[in-house]
Amino acid sequence: MLKTIFESLFTMKFLLSIVRLSTPILLASIAAFISSSTGIVNIAIESIMTFSALAGILGSYITQNAYLGCLIGLLIGILTALLIAFFSMKMGADAIFVGIALNTFADSLAIFFLYQIAGEKGTSASLMTPILPAVDIPGISSIPILGEIISGQYLLTYLCWIILIVLYILVYKTPLGMRMRACGLNADAAKTAGINVQVLQVLSLILSGFFAALGGMYLSLNYLKIFSKGMVAGQGWMGIAANGIANGNYGALLISSLIFAAFRAVSIVFNTSTIFPTDLVGTIPYFAVFVFVTAASIINYYRIKHGKVEEQ
Amino acid sequence: MKETILKLDNVTKVYPNGTVANRDINMEFEKGEIHSIVGENGAGKSTLMKIIFGIEAPSSGTVTYKGKEVHFNGSMDAIEAGIGMVHQHFMLIPSFSVVDNIILGSEPKSGIFIDRKEAVRRTQELSDKYHFELDVIAKVSTLSVAKRQKVEILKTLYRNAELIILDEPTSVLTPQETEKLFEQLRQFKEQGHTILFISHKLEEVKKISDRISVIRNGVSKGTYKNEELTMEQLTNLIIGRDLEKDFDQFKTHEDFHDEKVLKVEDLYMERNGKPVLNHMSFAVKKGEILGVAGVEGNGQQELVKCLTGLEKTAYEGKITVCDKDALEMNVKQRRELGMAYIPEDRMGDGIAASLPISDNIISTYYDREDINGKFFMNQKAINKVADDLIDTFTVKTQDNKTAVGSLSGGNVQKVVVAREYNTIPDLMIAEQPTHGIDIGSAELVHHKLLELRNQGAGILLVSADLNEVLDLSDRIIVMFDGQIAGYFPDASKTNDQELGLYMLGARHQSEEEIGGALNA
């Protein structure tokens, strides 16, 4: 039995499942990354993903058009991010507490709306909902191994990959990106260089909401094809953890996200067998997050102690 | 007549809490001059610079730049107009390269991208032009303080600043680095830049300036040509002794047999590889006030932190409080030896602003038997102590439950002094005890210190207010650059001018003379 499990860890199927599982975590991690780059901690990524996952499905159901649904989901994600901006920057609340408030009522609010429209509290399965397609890229799909990975993915996975590249260029190669990073590293220095810190922080929150919304809708409109209660399942938090580990390093951000996705894939493989209790196996990805975050902070501690990096 | 680049007319700045930082300041700055603005700490130099650089708006009065009246709305406007500022605390991003720090906010572009090649080229060109010898692609975090300052200066030059404000630029530099900076400033001047040099180190000011403007208590005391002023005249203008007060009548003279309550021997401490306390030795006797004079930033703060036990950095030497070796003791243990402390930062270190007077007024002896019951604090006793002290120290408040933070500065200080006074100390360390408080409160604090002295306490009075030191002290030491520069066994036989010369490093006594501070 164990043998079959380990064999299945080295198959194409496993690799493909990592690719599929990585999309929401990658999007969540760049959502955390972009807001923290200007010095705003957005811990509401999980709830934005939940809101947008539902809004995407309901929007798609009402308009009977998956793309319009996707647009509505994005709008909801951005509005939620602006809510954080309003309360933390205009009204003077701590962004952390605003995030806690949103996370606390996200699930219940989502179910409230789901019940209003679908008449069910668990899933949106009863609604006839158009969803976003998977895309075959002709030509590439015939290449062995690589073709299988690159072609045939969901639409939002491709969008995610494009965003990863565009975001890198934006943050590291354009004046706007450099100014955003300056805000997060030393807001006073940015201010005296004539940069409007607040404007850039709002912009980064909007982008953060946009990415998190895509992550949520990947789950509902692409991957699972329905909205179901608790479907985000901590993937927003994993993105935040990946951002914490990466500490401003874009490469480390993506690698951490992929590692978390791999552990999710592992837990699914183990779940197909019956020798381990399902609930225990389900904790694997979360336990991995715990281990990696702890390890990262221990490493960071020693790097500061030995003067390799400056304390921030 | 040279061209005027910047003109201030009747500039007044009143902060919302009523503090008047600048009052009717009139100054003119000529193109291509090095113009120093001098004054004591808190005289209003920084506020004035903030007004010029657009960070603060004047309450009234006008700023005229290049012949036009300007109303800067933030520093961006000032930068745009051609004013640059090198802040005392650097505004740099350590993890960015020199280039990125310099171009931040006005990046050269090619398409939507930052044109790094162009950025490096322009930065290198500027650095070469002024002989800055900077590795422009190095991270700022790897640079020395002096080099970081160069980056700050380059930042202003990159934005084509014509008027450059330097706020206490030498405070972080060694003498050699200072010398180099001055060479560069002269070079800027030749190229037509106007330099506004803020400092309280007078010998440097005399060395570099074409003209000097003096500010005292927020009021302009005139602009002078450097060669028209002697060091003594300049000192007088800055310190300006307002009125003679005679405290001698309050001093009694009991004989305490030269008993020493504090002995400091060979105290030495380094920070960033530079000695900040350089082998200091002195003693405080029972029934006397030893005044410590000096321009702020010459080691006074570090000295007090070492004496009170607050210093975290390692320091060497011997500290004896009431005949006990206190070097290894923490604050609490030192207090138990009979030490009391009035801290300079009264809102930060002196009180807990949100707590009532009653809690604050017992906070250094909360565990005294009559106050601390078996399980609970004895509220009755606390109230009595608080009410008595509020009475004797005439603290203006509704009752003892008022939050200390809501009182005026003078009344907050009264609470602090009352608390320390009430511990009946053998050694009182008073750090800037009347800084920034009203005359009435200051007078009360002075009288209470004298009362303690007459009862036999030894008082170490650390103050940048020369009047205060001269008025209250029995003996005086002057600190300069972490050392005792002068020792005056009889405070009544010296004056502000003499002390001023030692404060500014123009004079330094022999080791023998200074040795009297410990052995008298």
Residue numbers in B near A195 (CB within 8 A)? 104-105
Domain end position, chosen among B239, B259, B288: B239
In a domain, B343, yes or no: no
Q: Which two tokens stand for residue A194?
A: 């004539």
Give me the count of residues in chain A.
312
Condensed to tens digits (0 to 9), the pLDDT of residues B7-22 reads: 999 999 887 766 678 8
Q: What part of A 241-270 touches B (C-beta under 8 Å)?
A: 248
**What is the least distance, in Å, from the CA of B182 to any CA of chain A?**
24
For chain B, the residues whose C-beta falls within 8 A of a C-beta of chain A are 74-76, 79-80, 85, 87, 91-96, 100-101, 104-107, 109, 112-114, 141, 155
Say whether A175 and B79 touch across the interface (CB within 8 A).
no
Residues B462 and B412 in one domain: no
Share of residues in chain A with pLDDT > 70 (%): 96
Residues B431 and B401 in one domain: no
Query: Residue A311 burial by CB count (10 A; 0-12/13-18/19+): exposed, middle or buried?
Result: exposed
Residues B278 and B370 in one domain: no
Eight-state DSSP code of residue A36? H
Whether residue A151 contacts residue A141, with contact meaning beta carbons closer than 8 Å, is answered with yes
In a domain, B94, yes or no: yes
CA distance B467 to B491: 11
Condensed to tens digits (0 to 9), the pLDDT of residues A41-59 reads: 999 999 999 999 999 999 9
In a domain, B175, yes or no: yes
Q: Residue A311 has what pLDDT? A: 44
In a domain, B344, yes or no: no
Gyration radius (Cα) of chain B, Å: 25
In a domain, B345, yes or no: no
DSSP assignment of B468-512: HHHHH-SEEEEEETTEEEEEES-GGG--HHHHHHHHTTS----HH
Could you tell me which of A233, A263, A248, A264 has the C-alpha nearest to residue A296? Answer: A248
pLDDT at B503 over 90: no
In a domain, B244, yes or no: no
Q: Residue A270 has what pLDDT? A: 83
In this prediction, residues A20-26 reach a mean pLDDT of 95
In this prediction, residues B488-510 reach a mean pLDDT of 87
Residue numbers in A near B79 (CB within 8 A)? 194
Q: Residue B243 has what pLDDT? A: 44
Distances (CA, A) of A152 to A142, A211, B447: 11, 22, 87
Alpha helices in B54-144 (DSSP H): 75-81, 98-103, 116-129
In this prediction, residues B348-367 reach a mean pLDDT of 92
Domain end position, chosen among B377, B403, B423: B423
Residues B324 and B463 in one domain: yes
Domain count, chain B: 3
CA distance B354 to A133: 60
Could you tell me which of A47, A9, A10, A54 has the C-alpha nearest to residue A28? Answer: A47
Helices A235-246 and A284-305, axial angle in degrees (round to 10): 20
Eight-state DSSP code of residue B294? -
Q: Quick one: which H or E segment has residue A78?
A: helix A66-85
**Residue of chain A with shortest Cα separation from B100:** A178
Residue numbers in A near B76 (CB within 8 A)? 194
Say whether B107 and A178 touch across the interface (CB within 8 A).
yes
Q: Which two tokens stand for residue A6?
A: 């380990």
Residues B84 and B66 in one domain: yes
Say whether A191 and B75 touch across the interface (CB within 8 A).
yes
**What is the least distance, in Å, from the CA of A107 to any CA of chain B?**
38
Could you tell me how far CA B402 lies from the centroid of its own chain? 30
Q: Encode B470-503: b = buried (16+ Cβ within 10 Å), e = exposed.
A: bbbbbbbbbbbbbbbbbbbeebeebebeebbbbb
Residues B40 and B75 in one domain: yes
Residues B175 and B233 in one domain: yes
Q: Residue B347 has what pLDDT? A: 85
Condensed to tens digits (0 to 9), the pLDDT of residues B107-125 reads: 999 889 999 999 999 999 9
For B309, the 3-state DSSP assignment is coil
Whether residue B484 contacts residue B291, with contact meaning beta carbons closer than 8 Å, is answered with no
Q: Residue A312 has what pLDDT? A: 42
Residues B470 and B402 in one domain: no
Residues B38 and B110 in one domain: yes
Look at A122-131, A134-143, A254-263, B285-294 and tell me which has the smallest mean pLDDT.
A134-143
**Positive or negative: CA dihedral A19, A23, A28, A29:** positive
Residue numbers in B near A190 (CB within 8 A)? 104-105
For chain A, what is the mean pLDDT? 90
Say whether A192 and B85 touch across the interface (CB within 8 A).
yes
| Single-letter code of the amino acid located at A164 | L
Residue numbers in A near B114 (CB within 8 A)? 173-175, 178
pLDDT band (50, 70, 90) for residue A38: very high
Domain end position, chosen among B363, B392, B423: B423
Which residue among A193, A248, A310 sits closest to B141, beta carbon to beta carbon? A310
Residues B288 and B399 in one domain: no
In this prediction, residues B258-263 reach a mean pLDDT of 92
In this prediction, residues B461-487 reach a mean pLDDT of 91
In B15-79, beta strands by DSSP E: 20-30, 34-38, 60-65, 68-70
For B198, the 3-state DSSP assignment is strand
Q: Quick one: which H or E segment has residue B280?
A: strand B274-285
Q: Residue A150 has what pLDDT? A: 81
**Residue of chain B with shortest Cα separation from A188:** B91
In A95-218, beta strands by DSSP E: 134-135, 153-154
At B106, which CATH number?
3.40.50.300
Residues B27 and B142 in one domain: yes
Residue numbers in B near A185 (CB within 8 A)? 93-96
**What is the least distance, in Å, from the CA of A188 to any CA of chain B?**
7
- B318 is in which domain, residue-wise? 249-338+425-519
In this prediction, residues B233-257 reach a mean pLDDT of 73
pTM of the prediction? 0.72
Condensed to tens digits (0 to 9), the pLDDT of residues B401-438 reads: 999 988 877 889 999 999 999 999 999 999 999 886 76
Within 8 A by CB and 6+ apart from B168, the residues are B88, B198, B199, B200
pLDDT band (50, 70, 90) for residue A181: very high
Q: Which of B77, B88, B93 to mutate to test the interface with A (most CBs of A within 10 A)?
A: B93
Domains and CATH numbers, chain A: 2-305 (1.10.3470)
Whether residue B94 contacts residue B146, with contact meaning beta carbons closer than 8 Å, is answered with no
Within 8 A by CB and 6+ apart from B441, the residues are B409, B410, B411, B413, B414, B434
Which residue among A173, A179, A310 sits closest to B104, beta carbon to beta carbon? A179
In a domain, B203, yes or no: yes
For chain B, what is the mean pLDDT? 88
Say whether B104 and A190 touch across the interface (CB within 8 A).
yes
In this prediction, residues B93-118 reach a mean pLDDT of 92
Condensed to tens digits (0 to 9), the pLDDT of residues B442-451 reads: 889 999 999 9
In a domain, B442, yes or no: yes
Helices A197-217 and A175-185, axial angle in degrees (round to 10): 100
A279 vs B: CB within 8 A: no
How many CB pairs below 8 A link A and B? 58
Residues B27 and B119 in one domain: yes
pLDDT at B276 over 80: yes
Q: Residue B245 has what pLDDT? A: 59
CA distance A46 to A231: 10
Strand partners, B38: B199, B214
Say whether B91 and A189 touch across the interface (CB within 8 A).
yes
Q: Which two tokens stand for residue A304?
A: 């500061």
Could you tell me which of B399, B410, B394, B404 has the C-alpha nearest to residue B359? Answer: B404
Q: Residue B311 has what pLDDT? A: 85
